[in-house]
């Protein structure tokens, strides 16, 4: 295919499990653009204008195919009244849990989107980004899944205790989170996001066994995703996916963010025709890659998952670490241009589908 | 299969099934064993190792690993009267979360070490300088550091430097996601060892305690 597509066309075609002009790629940079702008991460997120400027500069420099509207996952905790801890060189984190004991769940009320300045800021950034890129570059927004928000709301250990031992309070928390998640996802779609990343690491078999997932995260995802008025992709944030890929496909999601711990060829075989793969460059190792190593990693991923479409090259975690040098991202971008053009005739069996 | 091997397998299965009653019955047999550490080493440790391997290979989930360690710790505490839990002779140890707010890894490792007869100081969440001061003041010889975020993992380098400046001979053992995803990272930051699972942490600590002692 010789005619160059827009990023939007390229991504849509990949999602349809067809081969576009080249493999689409996504470098999810939430706080990373603050580096380029020479401002602190706290300042970067203080104004939607900063985020828009950062994302546009990032797009222009690395020519990737999707814009991330994520500020930081913990922004949802901020909306619930939780504490946020800013770092100089990493993503803002949720501080001390705002659910201090399970019974607090009985008194919990979800935040209203319009009354939460932090969420309104995100919506404003999406509107401004959409005004800049139109349909040429899809904007992905993030909604933390109802099942995966509690580690930030109450801590991991307390959440496991709740999940295994306090089913009534667990169900109540899920119900509150579901309503918030749907409202938040739909607000971001209305603002101009093309897709919602349903951020659901707790559903990964790395975190809960499949038998628990089928009774919890799976049911919650089916209910929640069916109420989100736009396409969704599920991200397991470095968690494994292979044992639940068929289940994930039944939740209504279109995309799966995969782990660097899994073989991409195996994931591809299991996803073919059902789910588009997003992944799985190792974002932790990336910080010390040479240009040659970056190119080799890109080439290997494309060879394993590129044939037949249904593949968007990205990192495995959903966030480029602050410590990754710009040169590495440039090498990744160049390697996609070099090796990602369809047809992938350098890949053995590339037209085998 | 020997009697101990059978018990160990049954213990692992009971823990994965969250069957507190069977766990209690199996652990109660430790009372009949001549040497509590023989029982620990041949029944509890292999069961935990199997779970650690499962976690590493992706066949056992974090929730199972956490719940198992919690049940094991709670059951042993209930079986052994306060103050009578067995303790191995070892150098002073401590465990901490460096910089970030993710406590689960520390909790699982801490639990595994205590079940295996180690006693350690829990420093909770600490920043580099205050942690180095505490380590020196308390004479800690083995420090276990748990992290989830990459920036926190990289801070171990500063911790190492600070301890070296203070002429502190403390061994640093690290664990957590960044070290699992980059197998070279623990050496780069100057740690003495890295454990991918709680049972690996037990093995490392056992070795370092012997070396240090």
Of B142, B164, B144, B160, residue with least CA distance to B210: B142
* Token representation of residue A118: 């932090």
Residue A175 CA, distance from chain mean position:
23
pLDDT digits 0-9 by tens, A109-150: 999 999 999 999 999 999 999 999 999 999 999 999 999 999
Contact A242, A267 (CB under 8 A): yes
* Token representation of residue A219: 């049911």
- A349 pLDDT band (50/70/90 cuts)? confident
Our CA-based measurement puts residue B34 at a distance from the nearest CA of chain A, in whole angstroms, of: 35
Coil/strand/helix, residue A196? strand
Q: What does the domain layout of chain A look like in residue ranges?
A: 7-339
Residue A143 has what DSSP assignment? E
Most confident of B22-31, B57-66, B105-114, B159-168: B159-168
Q: Which helix (H) or strand (E) holds A234?
A: strand A232-235
Can you list the alpha helix ranges (DSSP code H) found in chain A?
7-15, 33-37, 41-44, 48-62, 75-79, 117-133, 150-154, 156-165, 167-191, 210-215, 217-227, 245-249, 264-271, 291-305, 326-339
Instruction: Tell me: pLDDT of B11 over 60.
Output: yes
- Tell me the Ramachandran region of residue A237: left when phi exceeds 0, alpha when psi lies from -120 to 50, beta otherwise: left
* Token representation of residue A263: 């073989």
Coil/strand/helix, residue B175? strand
pLDDT digits 0-9 by tens, A154-163: 999 999 999 9
Tell if the CB–CB gap between A157 and B60 is shorter than 8 Å.
no
- Backbone φ and ψ of A312, nearest 5°: -120, 120
Distance, in Å, from the CA atom of B123 to the CA atom of A165, rounded to the nearest integer, reads 28
Using a CB–CB cutoff of 8 Å, tell me whether B150 touches chain A: yes
Distance, in Å, from the CA atom of A47 to the CA atom of A325, rounded to the nearest integer, reads 25
pLDDT digits 0-9 by tens, B162-205: 999 999 999 999 999 999 999 999 999 999 999 999 989 999 99
CA-CA-CA-CA torsion sign (A133, A135, A137, A139) = positive
**Which of B13, B19, B63 is best to mutate for the A interface (most A CBs within 10 A)?**
B63
Tell if the CB–CB gap between B66 and A163 is shorter than 8 Å.
no
Instruction: Tell me: pLDDT of B67 over 60.
Output: yes
Burial class (CB in 10 A: 0-12, 13-18, 19+), B53: middle
* Token representation of residue B145: 């550091």
pLDDT digits 0-9 by tens, A290-307: 999 999 999 999 999 999
Using a CB–CB cutoff of 8 Å, tell me whether B28 touches chain A: no
| Chains A, B: CB pairs < 8 Å | 79
* Token representation of residue B100: 């970030």
Tell if the CB–CB gap between B63 and A206 is shorter than 8 Å.
no
Of residues A206 and B45, more confidence is placed in A206
Residue A242 has what DSSP assignment? G
Q: Which residue has the tokens 């899809």?
A: A138
Tell if the CB–CB gap between B185 and A207 is shorter than 8 Å.
no
Out of 1.10.287.10, 3.40.50.2300, 2.40.50.100, 3.20.20.210, select the CATH number for domain A7-339.
3.20.20.210
Nearby residues of A51 by Cβ (< 8 Å), 6 or more positions away: A33, A44, A45, A69, A71, A125
Using a CB–CB cutoff of 8 Å, tell me whether B149 touches chain A: yes
Q: Over range A42-55, report the average pLDDT.
A: 98
Distance, in Å, from the CA atom of A6 to the CA atom of A22, rounded to the nearest integer, reads 11
Nearby residues of A236 by Cβ (< 8 Å), 6 or more positions away: A200, A201, A203, A204, A206, A256, A257, A258, A259
Residue A22 has what DSSP assignment? B
pLDDT digits 0-9 by tens, A71-95: 999 999 999 999 999 999 999 999 9
What local confidence, expressed as pLDDT, does residue B31 receive? 66
Instruction: Tell me: pLDDT of B40 over 90.
Output: no
Tell if the CB–CB gap between A163 and B63 is shorter than 8 Å.
yes
Our CA-based measurement puts residue B101 at a distance from the nearest CA of chain A, in whole angstroms, of: 7
What local confidence, expressed as pLDDT, does residue B90 receive? 86
> If you average pLDDT over every residue of chain A, what do you get?
96
Instruction: Tell me: pLDDT of A2 over 80.
Output: no
Residues of B with Cβ-Cβ distance to A280 under 8 angstroms: none
pLDDT digits 0-9 by tens, A234-260: 999 999 999 999 999 999 999 999 999
- B83 pLDDT band (50/70/90 cuts)? low
Nearby residues of A233 by Cβ (< 8 Å), 6 or more positions away: A140, A195, A196, A197, A198, A253, A254, A255, A256, A257, A276, A278
Which residue numbers of A have CB closer than 8 Å to B's CBs?
Answer: 85, 87, 89-91, 93-96, 155-157, 160, 163-164, 205-209, 212, 238, 240, 242-243, 260-261, 282-285, 287-288, 321-323
């Amino acid at each position: 295919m010789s005619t160059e597509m827009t990023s939007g066309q390229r991504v849509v075609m990949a999602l349809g499990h067809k081969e576009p002009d080249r493999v689409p790629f996504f470098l999810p940079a939430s706080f990373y653009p603050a580096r380029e702008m020479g401002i602190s991460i706290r300042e970067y997120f203080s104004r939607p204008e900063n985020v828009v400027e950062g994302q546009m500069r990032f797009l222009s420099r690395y020519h990737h195919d999707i814009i991330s509207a994520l500020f930081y996952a913990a922004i949802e905790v901020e909306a619930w009244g939780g504490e946020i801890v800013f770092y100089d060189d990493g993503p803002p984190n949720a501080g001390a849990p705002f659910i201090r004991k399970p019974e607090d769940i009985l008194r919990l009320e979800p935040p209203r989107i319009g009354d939460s300045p932090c969420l309104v800021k995100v919506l404003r950034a999406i509107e401004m980004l959409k005004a800049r890129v139109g349909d040429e570059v899809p904007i992905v927004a993030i909604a933390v899944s109802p099942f995966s928000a509690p580690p930030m709301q109450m801590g991991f250990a307390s959440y496991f205790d709740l999940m295994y031992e306090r089913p009534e309070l667990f169900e109540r928390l899920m119900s509150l989170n579901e309503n918030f998640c749907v409202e938040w996802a739909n607000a971001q779609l209305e603002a101009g996001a093309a897709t919602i990343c349903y951020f659901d690491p707790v559903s990964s078999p790395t975190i809960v066994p499949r038998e628990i997932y089928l009774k919890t995260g799976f049911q919650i995802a089916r209910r929640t995703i069916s109420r989100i008025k736009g396409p969704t992709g599920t991200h397991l944030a470095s968690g494994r996916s292979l044992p639940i890929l068929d289940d994930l496909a039944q939740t209504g999601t279109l995309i799966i963010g995969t782990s660097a711990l899994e073989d991409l060829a195996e994931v591809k075989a299991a996803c073919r025709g059902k789910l588009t793969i997003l992944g799985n460059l190792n974002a932790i190792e990336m910080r010390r890659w040479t240009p040659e190593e970056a190119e080799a990693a890109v080439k290997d991923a494309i060879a394993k998952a590129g044939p037949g479409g249904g593949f968007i090259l990205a990192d495995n975690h959903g966030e480029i670490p602050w410590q990754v040098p710009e040169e590495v991202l440039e090498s990744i971008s160049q390697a996609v241009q070099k090796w990602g053009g369809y047809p992938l005739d350098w890949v053995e069996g590339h037209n085998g589908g | 299969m020997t009697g101990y091997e059978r018990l160990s397998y049954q213990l692992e299965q009971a823990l994965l099934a969250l069957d507190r009653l069977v766990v209690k019955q199996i652990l109660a047999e430790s009372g009949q064993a001549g040497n509590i550490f023989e029982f620990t080493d041949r029944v509890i440790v292999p069961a935990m190792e199997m779970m650690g391997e499962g976690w590493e290979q992706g066949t056992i989930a974090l929730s199972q690993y956490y719940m198992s360690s919690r049940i094991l710790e709670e059951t042993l505490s209930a079986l052994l009267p306060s103050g009578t839990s067995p303790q191995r002779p070892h150098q002073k140890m401590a465990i901490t979360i460096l910089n970030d707010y993710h406590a689960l890894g520390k909790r699982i490792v801490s639990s595994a070490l205590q079940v295996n007869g180690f006693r350690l100081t829990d420093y909770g969440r600490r920043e580099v300088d205050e942690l180095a001061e505490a380590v020196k003041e308390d004479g800690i010889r083995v420090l276990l550091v748990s992290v989830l975020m990459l920036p926190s993992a990289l801070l171990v380098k500063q911790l190492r430097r600070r301890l070296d400046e203070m002429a502190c001979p403390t061994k640093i053992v690290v664990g957590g996601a960044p070290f699992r995803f980059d197998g070279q990272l623990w050496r780069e930051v100057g740690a003495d060892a890295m454990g991918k699972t709680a049972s690996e942490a037990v093995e490392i600590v056992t070795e370092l305690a012997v070396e240090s002692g």
